[in-house]
Structures are given as C-alpha cells and as structure tokens.
Structure 1
Amino acid sequence: MSQALSHDDPLEGLPSRAKIAELILGGRPPRDTYAGWQHYRTHCGLLVPAPVISPRQWPMIPESRQADYGLYRQLTNANLPLQDTPMHDQVGRLIRRRLRGNTMKQDDPTRAGVMVSGWGNYGKTASVCSAGAAFEDQWLELHSYLNPGALPGTRDFHAPVVYVSTPVTATPKSLCASILGFFRAPIRKSATLPELVRQVADSLHDHGVKALILDDISRLRMHRADDQDVLDLMRALMSLDVTLILTGVNISGIGLLREAKWNKKTRQWEMPPLESTRIHGLEVTQTEHRFELIELDRFRYVTPKQIQAFVDHLRGIEQHLRLLNAKPGMLTGGTMPEYLMRRTSGVIGLLGRLLEDGAQEAMESGKELIDESLLDEIVLRREGPEQAPDEPVLLAGPQTARKKATKAKRPRNTVFDDHGPAGATGS
C-alpha cells in the first residue's frame, strides 16, 4: 500500500511543513524600499498552488500530511493570481508604450507621464506595479543587469523602477524624503529644500531610475499651498529623464487635472479650457498637458465580449482554488456569473475578497464547495461610487431600483384640534 502511494503520491510537489511555515510567516520588506520592490518583482506570481486532491484520495493521505495540505490550501486560496483582464491589459499597454518611447528619447527635455485613476478595489496599484516590474525585467535583461549610466568606480545599485507612496501630509520636503527613503539614503535634518531636490536628482541619476511610481496621489488637495508645491516638484522631476506614473482615486475630480469631464463618445477624459485662453489667447502649460490619464474600469456584463471576459476571469480563479468537492463550472456554470456580478458590481477587488472568504468558509464548514447559498452568508461592504460615468449599474434588482419621487404632502390644518385641558387653561 505504501509503495503504491509513493508511486502515485497525490501530494507530490507539496512543500514541507517548514517551507509552508516560512511562506506564511516569512517577513516581506515594504514595497516602497529598494529591497521591498526587488522582493515583489522577483516573487510576484511564483506561489505554486497546492496539488489537486479528490475526495477519494483524501483518506489515503496520512493525518500529519492532511494538516499540511489544509494549511497550504488556505495559503493558495488566499493568494488569487493576477490575471490578464481587459482593464489590466489596457493599463499595461499604456505604461509600456510610454516607457518605451521615453527611454528612447534623446533631446526632449521633459518626459510625458501617466496617471491611472479608478475607485477603490479596482486594482490600480496591482496593475501599475505589475507593468513596472515587467518593464524592469526587460530593461535589466537589455543591459545585462548593469547600469548603463554608472560612473566608473561607483557601487550604486541599479534601480530602473522606484515605487513610493505619496506622504499623508505631503510637502515638497516629505516627498523628497520618501524618494530618498526608497534608497535608504541619509538625509541631513538641516537640509534645505533646494539641497533635498538636488539630492533626489542625483539619486535618480546615479541609480539609473527610468520610472517613478507615485501611489495614492489622491492624497493631494489642491486647495493647500503645500500640495500645489508638491505638484510643481513632480513636474520638475519629469525633466530628469524619469517617467512619472501616478495612481490615485478619482484623479479627475481632485483638481490635479482641473475638473475633467467624461466624453461618452470618445471614452476619454477631457479638460475644459482655462480662463487664460479667452483672456490672453494662450493657455499655459498645465499638468494635463504632461500626463495621459487612463481610467481603470470594472468588469461589465452587457455585451457578449464583456460577459466572456468576466467568465474567463472566473474560470481562472476557479482553476486556482483548492476545494475537495469543487467541480468544473463551480464559478462559471448556471447563474453563478450573474450572481457574482450582482454581489460585486464587477469590482475586481470585491470579487476576489468574496471568493477568498467563500473558500475559507467552505473549508471550515466542511462543505468544500462554493455556491450561492454559502456566499449569501458573507457580507461585503461597498464604499464609494460603483457606477461609471457612461453606463448604469448592471443587474440591479428591485432593492436597487430608483424610488419614485414623492411630492411633499400639504401640512394638515390644526385649527380645530382639541389640545386638552392644558391647552384650554393656557389660552
């Protein structure tokens, strides 16, 4: 019996308990540091899913290995793969096009940038970081993993891509400190702003930086003077042979690009003309002239192409999940796609959270299967607008239908009301 099991071991490829513990408990450096970014770039998508075990094979596995397999299944189900969705591909194509063009420019003093906008849980950071990591892989391979601009005798490490989160209380000095913190560069407390800007410029050049990703750019508020200065500093960084890639929530509505409007016909954001255009006949160069804005959308469920894209995404998740009673079509058959669209409105982050929680509940309950009745017990909290500027919310049931506006009722005449003895004595 043991020989037959070793010849056809259903747990072949399952890591040891020590390795599983290392994967779960192992520390990961912050992504906004060089070590953290390199860890992300070299480890993203490398998790091997747990082997598929049928209910018939389950009793053949020793109890000790059953515990290991259950733990590794939880790790697998909690780390859904980043798939090539239409929205993800659109962001990747734009970033690749912009980086490819900017890195080939010779005499242009300013490098055009990219802004990626979208509501929460739309996958902005994941898409941008994935595109940045892919660019760095290609750039390092192209230059044999050496910095082509390094000075002889220097030992600066090569960092083609820098990822930084916009400071909560943003000032030009705090932004410089965040960029320098990526390299763990020492900063003098008495350093003036011009000195910090020069240090940032030298660091970007010495480390061969080609792309600077600034996440959470929506923390800026243009009514604050410091935030306006930060925006000016970012525009200045674009003259350092660096491509700026900004991500944030509702960028078009926070003032970075003035109050942009969505054109349904061209499906692009358009900026209204400045007052200076009508007064002086000239429009000054603003942020929107240096950046291309792309709006990261959610899944749609209207056209056959959109439906197929959503079903393909569900199929990818279905193949990744590890549940003993899972069957083909668990997420793609019957009314499950419509149910998942209705529960999540096509928001990729909410969809992933719902299915991850559903997989945990399926394992804990012993059901080992995801269906609508199991997902009904999981509550999702949706925050922020889920509706695109040009399309209605899909699959809206009676509970989400607009209520008919009711006219205000005429107040009741109280002249002949009996107010009781107290009212009579008071009169």
Structure 2
Amino acid sequence: MIQALSHDDPLEGLPSRAKIAELILGGRPPRDTYAGWQHYRTHCGLLVPAPTIQPQQWSMLSESRRYDYDLYRELTNANLPLQDTPMHDKVAKLIRRRLSGNTRKKDAPTRAGVMISGWGNYGKTAAVCSAGAVFEDQWLQLHGCLTPGALPGTRDFHAPVVYVSTPVTATPKSLCLSILGFFRAPIRASATLPELVRQVADSLHAHGVKALILDDISRLRMHRADDQDVLDLVRAFMSLDVTLILIGVNISGVGLLREAKWNRKSRRWEMPPLESTRIHGLEITQTEHRFELIELDRFRYTTPQQIQAFVDHLEGIEQHLRLLSAKEGMLTGGTMPEYLMRRTGGVVGLLGRLLEDGAQEAMESGRELIDESLLDEIVLLRDEPEQPPDEPVIPTAPLTASTKARQPKRPRNTVFDDHGPVSATGS
C-alpha cells in the first residue's frame, strides 16, 4: 500500500525519527519461541513503504527532514515484500490442503505430513512460515482465539502452529528440548527421554498444536544412529493429532526418503519400487508413505508463462523500491529481465539480495536508479549446487569384492632399497 501524497507536505504520514529508529534498532524474539512466532505472525508484511516523491520535492526538504526520509527509504528497500509466486503458491496450496484435511479427521491414527525440499535461497522457510501464519489466523478466528476443550482456570495459551529448528547435533532428547523450549516449559535436569517425550506430547495437546514445523531437517544424516532415532521420533509425533511440516535442503539426497529419481519430463521426484534399504543394519521404512514431498523450484525463463511470472515478480519489487530517479520499467523493461535472470539464475533469495544491494548503492552514489551498469559493480556469489534439481545427486555405487580386485595395486616405494655398491665404471 503506497501512501497518498499531500500538496502541502509531500511526506505526510512519514513516521517520526524516533519511530523509524525503533523499527531499525528494535529487536525481535527468535521465531522458534512462542513469543517470536506470534511477533512474526502479527507483524509480517505490515511495514508501510516510504511515500513516493519527486527529486525536486526531495531537494526542497530541510536537511533534518531529508535525513528522516532517506533513512525510511533504506528501511523500505531492505525489506522486500513476500510476493505470491508460482513456486510459493504450490507450497501454500499443499500445506493448506493437508492441514484442512488433517484437522477434520477424527478416527485416523496418524496424520500425513509434508516435506518441502529445495536448494539454498529458494525461499523454503519464508513460504512455509507464511502458509503457517495464514492457517493460524484462520484457525484462531474459527475458535474465537480459544483452545478448543480448554479447562477453565488453566493458563495454557493457544498455539496452533509451532516452529522449531532441528538441532545441529540432533538426538531424540535435544529435539524434545527444542520443542519444549518453544513454550519455555520448565524441564527437570534429570528428566529421562521417555519423560521428555511424554512432556512434549502433553504440551502439544494442552496448547492445541495442529501444525509442527521442523526446519533444517536435512541436518539429519542416516549413517548416524542418533539421527535415525530422531527420525523415528518424528514419525511417532504423527500419531499426536499434529501435522508435521519438514523443511530441508535436498531431502531426497540425504537419506530421509528412499533414493528418489528426478523425472525431467514430469518435473517430479519419483520413488522406485519399494526395496529393503538397510544402513548400518537398521531399516528405514514408511517415511515415504507418510509424507508428501514437494520440490521448491526457482524461476524459469523458457515458456511465455514462466517469463511472465518472472516479470510480474520484478514488477512487484519495482513498485516497492523507493529511488528518486526510478522510472516505470526500471526492472521490467528492455533487457533487464534477461540480465537479472542471468545474474541470479532465477533464485528468489539471490534476486532479492542483488536488488537490495543495488538500491543501497543507487542511494549512496546519488544515481537513484537501478540499471545494468550499476548492478555490474555488485559482486554476487552464487552458491549454485554442484547439480541442480534437474540433475539430482546420484551416489556412487559401493565397491564390491570384484571391483576391489580389479583395482591396480600401488607400486612399492623403492627409495630406501639397497642396490649394492656402485661399480667403478658406473661412478
């Protein structure tokens, strides 16, 4: 929403310097706590962009007023809005369908879950958290912001959605502590794992949790026994009337599911026929049947529909940026879309970072306009995967006895061999 301009004061409605300083300096609680999640849910997307004024109007402002406006412009340009993209819409649709179905089930022993996979900077966490916030708003409105079935006189707050990051060194106990930490629940130092699991189950039920978001699930590695136990515990949570939403990088390649193959034609991960998969003597089963995997893609620039989706995204960013010399088509006209696609590969996070840095450079240099020559001065390190989703990582086959036998032996080191006395003719 762009504020309307006044003929008397072009900056009518601009927050005071104290308010701008509060927006910049004010911290926010971590999202993996109840207070942090509620702050995210209630404040996401509420930042009103700075008013749009002409360069002549800016030059007529007092030095103090000009400083306040430029400060708020920097804040606006650094907080690009989360736009609807075909990729994010696909994630939101799947989560909405899964939560809608699971919250209406009465007799099913388990609730099917969702896995969101994709490479870095693809916007996985932003898409899932946005969908979770929308669900919580609707759920609270449906139940009048009260926990259904809550007992009078209790202090349990209603938390339909819980967001937790998978611990770096994951164990069943550390995962339980992370979930309980979301509620800031008191934990006994001597609590055993069964006691923690029971406390987690009681907390999820008491707070009316319907969706449990586990981010960075790809930190689990199935060659570690502790991580296998964590995955078993995650599956056990599915019987607690909670929908699990797991977020990770390259989920299909880290062993959480059976080895999947990427079908270029259908652009979907396809599971091979079920086979007994054993790692260190432990069998991994049922995970692929309880979760639906969706691969979050980047922007493409091949078909007219894909090109139009990318241009629409650039137009949304262009309307949000506040640069004095900005003109219509600054990001969407000429060869700029092709340039931005070439620089970022269509990755949403990299595109946002490039344009945010470009807006800052445009203000500092006084050019007040983003063009290709300005963006050429910005170094953008693209963390491209060795093999993008079109070419999934295929693990090499383990060495067998026959292949080991065919390997050539290393030659023996003869540096210290004694070859006898040197002959007189050879000296």
Question: What does residue 362 of structure 1 align with?
Answer: 362
Question: Residue 275 of structure 1 aligns to a residue in which SS?
Answer: coil
Task: Extract structure 1 runs of 4+ deviating beyond 4 A.
Answer: none
Question: What does residue 211 of structure 1 align with?
Answer: 211
Deviations 1:9-63 (A, max 9, x none): 1101110000000000011000000000000000000000000011121122121
Question: Structure 1 residues 227 and 285 mapped into 2: Cα distance closer, same or farther (>3 Å)?
Answer: closer
Question: What does residue 46 of structure 2 align with?
Answer: 46
Question: Structure 1 residues 8 and 267 mapped into 2: Cα distance closer, same or farther (>3 Å)?
Answer: same
Question: What does residue 177 of structure 2 align with?
Answer: 177
Question: What does residue 246 of structure 1 align with?
Answer: 246
Question: Structure 1 residues 426 and 195 mapped into 2: Cα distance closer, same or farther (>3 Å)?
Answer: farther
1:175 maps to amino acid: L
CA distance in 2: counterparts of 1:201 and 1:309, whole angstroms: 43
Answer whether contact 2:262 2:391 (CA < 8 A) is retained.
no
Question: What does residue 308 of structure 1 align with?
Answer: 308
1:351 aligns with 2:330: no
1:157 aligns with 2:157: yes
1:11-410, aligned counterparts within 5 Å? 11-276=11-276, 285-385=285-385, 388-390=388-390
CA distance in 1: counterparts of 2:360 and 2:130, whole angstroms: 27
Question: Residue 368 of structure 1 aligns to a residue in which SS?
Answer: coil
CA distance in 2: counterparts of 1:306 and 1:275, whole angstroms: 37
Aligned-pair CA distance for 1:152: 3.0
Answer whether contact 1:164 1:182 (CA < 8 A) is retained.
yes
Question: Residue 173 of structure 2 aligns to a residue in which SS?
Answer: helix
CA distance in 1: counterparts of 2:76 and 2:391, whole angstroms: 35
Deviations 1:174-204 (A, max 9, x none): 0000000000001111111000000000000
Aligned-pair CA distance for 1:259: 1.5
CA distance in 2: counterparts of 1:14 and 1:386, whole angstroms: 47
Deviations 1:237-270 (A, max 9, x none): 0000000000000000000002111123333212
Deviations 1:117-141 (A, max 9, x none): 0000000000000000000000000
Return the TM-score normalized by structure 1.
0.88
Answer whether contact 1:345 1:386 (CA < 8 A) is retained.
no
Answer whether contact 1:149 1:206 (CA < 8 A) is retained.
no
RMSD of equivalent CA atoms? 1.8
Deviations 1:49-87 (A, max 9, x none): 000011121122121110000000000000000000000
CA distance in 1: counterparts of 2:6 and 2:284, whole angstroms: 74
Deviations 1:257-299 (A, max 9, x none): 021111233332122233349xxxxx99510100000000000
CA distance in 1: counterparts of 2:95 and 2:381, whole angstroms: 32
Answer whether contact 1:87 1:298 (CA < 8 A) is retained.
yes
Deviations 1:377-411 (A, max 9, x none): 1011111328644489xxxxxxxxxxxxxxxxxxx
2:374 maps to amino acid: L
Question: Structure 1 residues 223 and 387 mapped into 2: Cα distance closer, same or farther (>3 Å)?
Answer: closer
Aligned-pair CA distance for 1:356: 0.2
CA distance in 2: counterparts of 1:351 and 1:7, whole angstroms: 36
Aligned-pair CA distance for 1:332: 0.3
1:142 maps to amino acid: L
CA distance in 2: counterparts of 1:17 and 1:299, whole angstroms: 38
CA distance in 2: counterparts of 1:179 and 1:22, whole angstroms: 31
Return the TM-score normalized by structure 2.
0.88
Question: Structure 1 residues 284 and 61 mapped into 2: Cα distance closer, same or farther (>3 Å)?
Answer: closer
Answer whether contact 2:116 2:295 (CA < 8 A) is retained.
yes
CA distance in 2: counterparts of 1:275 and 1:131, whole angstroms: 35
Structure 2: segments with no counterpart, 5+ residues: 278-282, 393-424
CA distance in 2: counterparts of 1:233 and 1:248, whole angstroms: 17
CA distance in 2: counterparts of 1:37 and 1:204, whole angstroms: 16
CA distance in 2: counterparts of 1:199 and 1:336, whole angstroms: 55
Question: Residue 138 of structure 1 aligns to a residue in which SS?
Answer: helix
Question: Structure 1 residues 77 and 97 mapped into 2: Cα distance closer, same or farther (>3 Å)?
Answer: same
Question: What does residue 416 of structure 1 align with?
Answer: none
CA distance in 2: counterparts of 1:329 and 1:284, whole angstroms: 53
Answer whether contact 2:215 2:247 (CA < 8 A) is retained.
yes
Question: Structure 1 residues 371 and 246 mapped into 2: Cα distance closer, same or farther (>3 Å)?
Answer: same
Question: Residue 231 of structure 1 aligns to a residue in which SS?
Answer: helix
Identity %: 88
2:243 maps to amino acid: T
CA distance in 2: counterparts of 1:43 and 1:384, whole angstroms: 32
2:375 maps to amino acid: L
Answer whether contact 1:162 1:209 (CA < 8 A) is retained.
yes
Number of aligned residue pairs: give it.
Answer: 386
CA distance in 2: counterparts of 1:290 and 1:349, whole angstroms: 30
Answer whether contact 1:115 1:246 (CA < 8 A) is retained.
yes
Structure 1: segments with no counterpart, 5+ residues: 278-282, 393-424
Answer whether contact 2:120 2:249 (CA < 8 A) is retained.
yes
2:187 maps to amino acid: I
Aligned-pair CA distance for 1:154: 1.3
